[in-house]
Structure 1
Amino acid sequence: MDTSDLKIINAKIVTPTRIIKNGTLLAQHGKITAIAEGNIDYESKTVIDAGGKFLSPGFVDIHVHGGGGYDFMDNTIDAYLEIAKLHASYGTTAFTPTTLSCERDALLKTLSLYEEAAPLNVNGAQFLGMHIEGPYFAMEQRGAQDPRFIRLPDREEYQEVLRHSSIIKRWSAAPELKGAVEFGRYIKAKGILPSIAHTNAVYEEVLEAYENGYTHITHFYSCMSGVSRRNAFRYAGVIESGYLIEDMTVEIIADGSHLPPALLKLVYKIKGPDKTALVTDAMRAAGMPPGESILGDIHNGLKVIVEDNVAKLPDRSAFAGSVATTIQLVKNMITLADIPVIDAVKMMTATPAKIMGADDEKGAIVVGKDADLVIFDDDIRLHKTIIGGRVVHTV
């Protein structure tokens, strides 16, 4: 396919403000050049007839650990490339590879491999920078994170990590830990988003963290405090803080398991599509059959069981990871939370792109932005994934 020239006709184009019926889109050299209702009189080398299906911005997933049998903590080039291809086949056009709590040397190797893999990634979802999840977490809220590696923020350690790599865009931590506020200020000054995660913080601690750069909450509701009692008095937790702090952004795993429909509706009602991003938080078992799998490093990770469309601990006492895909998240918000298509798409495109500072080029069908696009039907089934004006997956 000639990527220099693309015309898509007969599409329901999902823009930031409306759905254009019988729309036409033109793209040249990977950028959107025109959008209109009806035909645009232009002879293109490549024409795609959408057949009345939706034409949406490509999905932007800002929290991904793996997929297709691979995890970024495997620390191989193949892992990076195969995960990117797997998620592109479900509509993801850009994403942030995400780590787990680990030893310093393993983290540094993961970061180095990102830089090696990026120029080789021509058939998969594009990398938007690295998301480090951990190891500065509350032990009681570690979830499936390996307790061997959880520790307090270490200034010498995180400064070394930042000297080692310039591709870190986000770092998740528990803001109530000793040194965590200083950590947040430091990385914010370096252009990295501090994000609240795996935490027992109360409202007052979250407010201080927000004032020092922690403007986002990782996998909202999962592994975090709600209302609690201390010395007989009730305290609001991170969940309540996410609602109370109006400009705080949140992300939700809308796989239908981590949050029931009622909570999906509540997050949408209070935070709205402009402050809520959908994320897969997908592990290596995404796109794979049910059964046994491993969370994290293939050689040293946590054994899990995938069933009921979610990963569980072997004793089935708790969830241990997501196997969601982006097209599934969009469909779930429409069918389970009863929200409009335009808002579900925004939560999977414009909002996550803005959170990651990538909205100048990604997340919306607007002239001048990247021609990262997906075509899906009325039943929210994916038909094509287009990255930079080039079809990388078709059903």
Structure 2
Amino acid sequence: MEHNKPIKIVNATAITPQRMIKECCIVLSDGKILDIGTGNIDVPGTLVIDAQGQFVGPGFIDLHIHGGGGHDFMDNTVEAYLAIAECHARFGTTSMCPTTLTAEKEDLLKTLSIYEEANRQNQNGAQFIGLHLEGPYFAVSQRGAQDPKYIRNPDPAEYQEILASSPHIRRWSAAPELPGAMAFGRYLRSEGVLAAVAHTDAVYEDVVAAVENGYSLATHLYSSMSGVTRRACFRYAGVIEAAYLIDEMDVEIIADGVHLPTPLLKMVHKFKGAHRTALITDAMRGAGMPAGESVLGNKETGLKVIIEDGVAKLPDRSSFAGSVATADRLVRNMVQLAGVNLLEAIQMITTTPARIMGLQDRKGSLTIGKDADLVIFDEGINIRHTLVGGNVVYQSQPAS
């Protein structure tokens, strides 16, 4: 991404990892945060943005996203990738993990090549920070809106070929109870890829073993995963309980207020805390679009869905089919519905996901030397400016 002339943001209420700083001045240069201070920092030749007392925080990092603005990553076009990145930048997202659905190996391999080209061309939207492969190694009983005809057990020849074909796969979600899933977790860890538990009917003991074999994250907690079950007379804790009980396990939640109602948002925050909880949109192509009919996955071969009540559903309304959330809505819900303070709500979509993805040295906080990915927003979490790498990619009001 090309860097324009230095930017100075004045009259900011800066959200740093420890506190809020009023009447703050932030200087960005060469794609990095150059200086943060109170009052005015004299830097000649800068573009000045007057934050007018509004909040300035680190850019939002979305670890799990399928689409938006009428496009899906599984459309397998560069145009779709770039449009999704630009759509979500309007809502404060500065980094994202493009996410696949269960598919044939050939489709996944094509997605990897499209990602590389889109990544080269991406200048005006949220930055891509690596692919998230969601499936195809899932429990059919917990498939949710994933197409069952593509679901299968981990195949070493297949996943080794896929991983060898691209350096851009950063995370992979799978069901840990499947035959071969433990070896898969170990292989992912050896390749530096984040292994996550998802679309699973595992019991607590399976998850304990999974963590010992490389899995460290629960994909969209509560969605498409087991809770307490009974087998004959005996109760077994499921993946949900395991995620709470295993302290070192991270979780991600779709905080759209629909997938998880207010009491569950509060519960996740109370027991896992902001430091272990990442907010994700899990957005499909309907994000940023009007309600009505849509398609989950590839626009030609995907599943028909309907968008209503602020969420995507299967046409028979038997299951949610991905969210239409945007990042600003996630933060707003954690503050307004779950009663989380703004510092922690921001942490859940910046610092925590940056750590989960191993990007904490470059992203996730308003810190001198880190990437100049910033958002300016008001008390209602309405985004005024989004900056990626020190460039303004969205503004709702002109810079002064």
Q: TM-score scaled by structure 1?
A: 0.99
The 2-side partners of 1:28 and 1:164 are apart by 35
Gaps of 5+ in 2: none
Question: Which amino acid in structure 2 is aligned with residue 38 of structure 1?
Answer: G
Hey, what does 2:303 align to over in structure 1?
A: 302
- Kindly provide the CA deviation profile for residues 248-296 of structure 1, in whole angstroms up to 9, marking residues without a partner as x: 0000000010000100000000100000000000000101100000000
RMSD of Structure 2 on Structure 1 (CA): 1.0
Hey, what does 2:56 align to over in structure 1?
A: 55
The 1-side partners of 2:60 and 2:40 are apart by 26
Hey, what does 2:36 align to over in structure 1?
A: 35
The 1-side partners of 2:271 and 2:128 are apart by 31
For residue 195 of structure 1, give the secondary structure of its aligned residue in structure 2.
strand
By how many angstroms is 1:162 displaced?
1.0
Hey, what does 2:358 align to over in structure 1?
A: 357
For residue 369 of structure 2, give the secondary structure of its aligned residue in structure 1.
coil
CA contact (8 A) 2:62 2:95 kept: yes
Describe how 1:1-395 pairs up with structure 2 within 5 A: 3-395=4-396
CA contact (8 A) 1:2 1:46 kept: no
The 1-side partners of 2:114 and 2:198 are apart by 25
CA contact (8 A) 1:69 1:286 kept: yes
Dislocated runs of 4+, deviation >6 Å: none
The 1-side partners of 2:347 and 2:96 are apart by 15
CA contact (8 A) 1:66 1:72 kept: yes
By how many angstroms is 1:320 displaced?
1.0
CA contact (8 A) 1:292 1:306 kept: yes
For residue 137 of structure 1, give the secondary structure of its aligned residue in structure 2.
coil
For residue 294 of structure 1, give the secondary structure of its aligned residue in structure 2.
strand
- Matched pairs, number: 395
By how many angstroms is 1:358 displaced?
1.2
The 2-side partners of 1:171 and 1:162 are apart by 10
Gaps of 5+ in 1: none
CA contact (8 A) 1:4 1:30 kept: no
The 1-side partners of 2:278 and 2:37 are apart by 28
The 1-side partners of 2:384 and 2:244 are apart by 36
The 2-side partners of 1:7 and 1:291 are apart by 42
Percent identity between matched residues is 60
The 2-side partners of 1:306 and 1:364 are apart by 34
By how many angstroms is 1:230 displaced?
1.4
Question: Which amino acid in structure 2 is aligned with residue 236 of structure 1?
Answer: A
- Kindly provide the CA deviation profile for residues 130-173 of structure 1, in whole angstroms up to 9, marking residues without a partner as x: 00000000000000000000000001100110111111000000
Q: TM-score scaled by structure 2?
A: 0.98
For residue 348 of structure 1, give the secondary structure of its aligned residue in structure 2.
coil
By how many angstroms is 1:2 displaced?
6.9
For residue 106 of structure 2, give the secondary structure of its aligned residue in structure 1.
helix
Question: Which amino acid in structure 2 is aligned with residue 150 of structure 1?
Answer: I
CA contact (8 A) 1:63 1:98 kept: yes
- Kindly provide the CA deviation profile for residues 18-62 of structure 1, in whole angstroms up to 9, marking residues without a partner as x: 000111101111100111122223334211110000001000000
